[in-house]
Structure 1
Amino acid sequence: MQLIYKAVPWAIRASFISSLMTLSGASLAAGFALNDHSATASGNALAGAAASNTDMSYSFWNPALFTNAKKTSIYVSGAYLLPEMDVTVNSATKRTGETTTTDITSDGKPSGDIVDETIIPALYFAIPFKTGTVLGVSLNAPFGLSGEYGDDWAGRYHSAKTGVQDIALSFSIAQRLTKWASIGASTHIHQANVRLDAAVTDLGLGTGDGYGKLEGDDVALSYSVGFMLEPLKGTRFGVGYRSEIDFTFEGDAEYSNIDPTVESTRDIENAYLYDELTFPSVLSIGLEQDFGSKFKLGISAIRTGWSSLDEMRIKFGEGQNPGRQGDSVLTFDFEDQWFYSIGVSYDVTENLTLRTGIAKDYSPVKDEYRSARTPDGDRDWVSVGGTYRFSPDTSLVFAYTHVEVEDVNLNRTGSLEEDYVRGALNADYKSSAEVISLALNMAF
């Protein structure tokens, strides 16, 4: 069995937004979640995101916050992500024990940029009614990650190209029950596509590496619910919950330049594939407090249920030789983790509001299962932003966030069964990201 299999999907082809978006950069949030859903929320590091009364873009974390729209409104946001990732290969060996770094460059590093700059859009549209009911539609990318090492670096048997992309179209209803209480719910339609590439070893035969590409896609449903309370004027508390997403990715395994001996010994062939994978739930808890008429303090605690990702197990259907190709597995064993943030906003003038915030985002990846597909570490955020109001119904929102990722070491010794053919890899990762967000918020 050739374990080309790797973690964390790529490339969704959602034709209705393909002209707007290319999601192929490093993830801003821990794991492979994306938190770039609102330039307003990004300005103070998502502080108070489940409780804020600022605008309807906070509905991503709590659908009850669609009640922030008092008129028919549209909010269009885009985040420009500039990631940096530096990989230093300390050692790498094939299954045969041969050092892979001597086969390529002098240091075994990837030959180009691993992660690319990208734009992540978000869109919200709301129609309120006199009854206190608001109907909403939104478009977001809840999960996304991509990394392209190339097929000539020392860890090419562990990963050459990988990523995940998930596009969600959501339909929401929110109801203001009283002046101090609102509830909301959403149904989400997700479209996702998986792409996993890696080099295939020649097992020391001297014929050169082959290449394998695994690709699949799926459409799935999920839901979210939430409430917001304002028991005292100026004190808001909100909770939002986004459910798990159950995907069954289906597609094809395609191999090229495989040595015939390797193909027969390792049971490798082009075939149909499928993989059942559950993306995590997200629980958002927010508190927002007004101090006077100009100053707000926000606090957020967001828990992502990453433990739903215990492993990725790809199963192969019948090729030319039915039943030959066994499951390909990559262990995640992710842990549920928290994101914490605190931030403030201040109305400098009637037209200008400024924001700032800090956050700590804990990674779900365990050291023993860190891989070239998931070289993740804890993240620290520092954010600034603001809103300029051209009129009561039209405003421009801006934000800048610096994300510093903890330096991590990847140490795959080859002892895990899933690494039997990949061999060993030890590498150090240094990563960071700059994010520039802009949004236009308009009411009619």
Structure 2
Amino acid sequence: MVWAKNKALLITTSAIALSMVAGAAHAGGFALREQSAYYQGTSFAGNGTTGDSISSMFWNPATLTGAGHGLTVESHSAFIVPQSDIDGTFTPQGLVNTLTGGFGGSSAPSGDIASDAWIPSTYMSYGLNDDWYFGFAINTPFGLSTKPEQSWAGQYYSRSSEVFSVNANPTVAYKFNDMFSAALGLQVEYLQVRLKSAYPFAASVTSTVPTSEVKGGSVGFGATAGVTIKPIEGTEIGVGFRSAVFHELEGHFINPNAPAVGVTSSRAGIKANIITPEMVTLSAKQRITDKIRLLGTVEWTNWSRLGTVKLKGTDGTTTNPTGLPDLHFNYEDGWFFSVGGEYDWNEQVTLRAGVGYELSPIDEDIRSTRLPDNDRLWLSAGMSWKPSEKLAFDLGYSHLIPADTKINIGPGHQDYNANIGTYTASVDSQVNIFSASLRYKF
């Protein structure tokens, strides 16, 4: 009997560890779009074309050629205020049901799992002459922090989730003529993941279930590229590319004591190869009058490349040291569409607004408790104030409205574990984003 329990424990522990590594990619599965207060105001419509802000270099580095001669510096801050509550029911099965004496079920709500976040970004450009331009950007392109109540109903599938990234991006751009510009850049990116879940084999109806943890970090490299085309006066088209970044997360997996099945705490070193997806941005800007400009953007993100994550030992030679199977994400590609406009109120003030719609790469078939994301509508407004030729301030605001969202972790779901149980829930979410920036031209 003890041998059977230990065997089941090994199988289930492996599945738990694997699901936690999956959570790393789920958490990083959504890029942080909030990289510019200027383009926040248009729901990022026109973000791949030249404008007063050099923050467009995040999506299309060729826009640097619109910065002019000399040094320009920008500092952007986005304040994300999300709200996300999960209300559902957990039904224990297998070993969890046995260890809790059949009383392990729960309908405890998550509370607000979403954490407020500050997303900073910095941009610099230097126009050497009429042809050559150099840029440098520091961004946080991926990130997540969710923390439900400790003993909520979905605790066996997730507790806290944290993803942190920093991306440094030097760029060089060349202006061939008034019609055509091109650019190339390098990405140097640090990614760290820390994920926790309740450890089901120390389950008890009389005490808080302890936590297992996976944590790892990595530095990866990628590229950026872009072109801008101005076929006629007043019309601009921009195409930008951010490549995939290859990460080999190195860290550990920790499980706590599970005395009911004869297991003590353990710590195992692991590696996991994760590839953040490439992104292509197509933007257009059309001047309607001297004061009015119409903007648009279509963005494609290759999330479907996240098909499989393979684990190996930290020595780099042991494949799947814990006997874990490969994980299939089954992501779809992500799409984002937006339209917006700008109006020059006077020489100092510009008003802008935009609407966007984002198609999530995750649907109910694979939606997890770590990041219960869905398609969403963006409604945005913003403004710029330019008190002098050298100094300017930008403000942006967005309200995000997700589609109705369900979680259904049961047989056939990639997170489902028959030794843990099923979890079904509804998610109530909304997001408000406030952003501001300052730019100065020396």
Please give the TM-score of this superposition, normalised by the length of structure 2.
Answer: 0.88
SS of 1:45's equivalent in the other structure is coil
Q: Give CA-to-partner distance per residue, 1:290-317, whole Å, 9 cap, x none.
A: 1121100001000000011124444455
Query: Does the 8 A contact of 1:104 with 1:152 survive in 2?
Result: no
Query: Does the 8 A contact of 2:73 with 2:441 survive in 1?
Result: yes
Corresponding residue number in structure 2 for 1:271: 268
Corresponding residue number in structure 2 for 1:20: none
CA distance in 2, matches of 1:317, 1:205: 33
Corresponding residue number in structure 1 for 2:7: none
Corresponding residue number in structure 2 for 1:9: 24
Corresponding residue number in structure 1 for 2:4: none
Q: Amino acid of the residue matched to residue 272 of structure 1?
A: G
Q: Give CA-to-partner distance per residue, 1:328-378, whole Å, 9 cap, x none.
A: 665421111210000000000000000000000000013211111231100
CA distance in 1, matches of 2:166, 2:382: 26
SS of 1:33's equivalent in the other structure is coil
Corresponding residue number in structure 1 for 2:5: none
Q: Which runs of 5+ in 1 are unaligned?
A: 11-25
Corresponding residue number in structure 1 for 2:424: 426
* 1:427 Cα offset (Å): 1.0
Q: Give CA-to-partner distance per residue, 1:401-442, whole Å, 9 cap, x none.
A: 001111211101145575324321111111110000000011
CA distance in 2, matches of 1:286, 1:103: 56
Please say which of residues 129-138 and 306-315 is displaced more in the overlay.
306-315
Query: Does the 8 A contact of 2:202 with 2:259 survive in 1?
Result: no
SS of 1:369's equivalent in the other structure is coil
Corresponding residue number in structure 1 for 2:367: 370
Q: 1:93 to 1:105 in 2, by over 3 A?
A: closer
* 1:196 Cα offset (Å): 1.4
* 1:103 Cα offset (Å): 6.2
Q: 1:105 to 1:369 in 2, by over 3 A?
A: closer
Match for 1:287 among 257, 266, 284? 284
Q: Give CA-to-partner distance per residue, 1:52-99, whole Å, 9 cap, x none.
A: 333211010000011121131001000011000011113432434749
CA distance in 2, matches of 1:374, 1:311: 19
CA distance in 2, matches of 1:400, 1:416: 36
Q: 1:116 to 1:39 in 2, by over 3 A?
A: same
* 1:4 Cα offset (Å): 2.5
* 1:146 Cα offset (Å): 1.9
Q: Amino acid of the residue matched to residue 411 of structure 1?
A: N
1:65 maps onto 2:63 in alignment? yes
Identity of aligned residues (%): 27
Query: Does the 8 A contact of 2:49 with 2:237 survive in 1?
Result: yes
Q: How does 1:16-27 map to 2 (within 5 A)?
A: none
Question: Higher helix share goes to which structure?
Answer: 2
CA distance in 1, matches of 2:320, 2:338: 50
Please say which of residues 343-352 and 113-122 is displaced more in the overlay.
113-122
CA distance in 2, matches of 1:328, 1:167: 30
Q: 1:422 to 1:130 in 2, by over 3 A?
A: same
1:158 maps onto 2:157 in alignment? yes
Corresponding residue number in structure 1 for 2:6: none
* 1:116 Cα offset (Å): 1.4
Q: Amino acid of the residue matched to residue 164 of structure 1?
A: V
CA distance in 2, matches of 1:203, 1:413: 22
Corresponding residue number in structure 1 for 2:49: 51
Please give the TM-score of this superposition, normalised by the length of structure 1.
Answer: 0.88
1:327 maps onto 2:342 in alignment? no
Q: How does 1:345-384 map to 2 (within 5 A)?
A: 345-384=342-381
SS of 1:263's equivalent in the other structure is coil
1:401 maps onto 2:416 in alignment? no
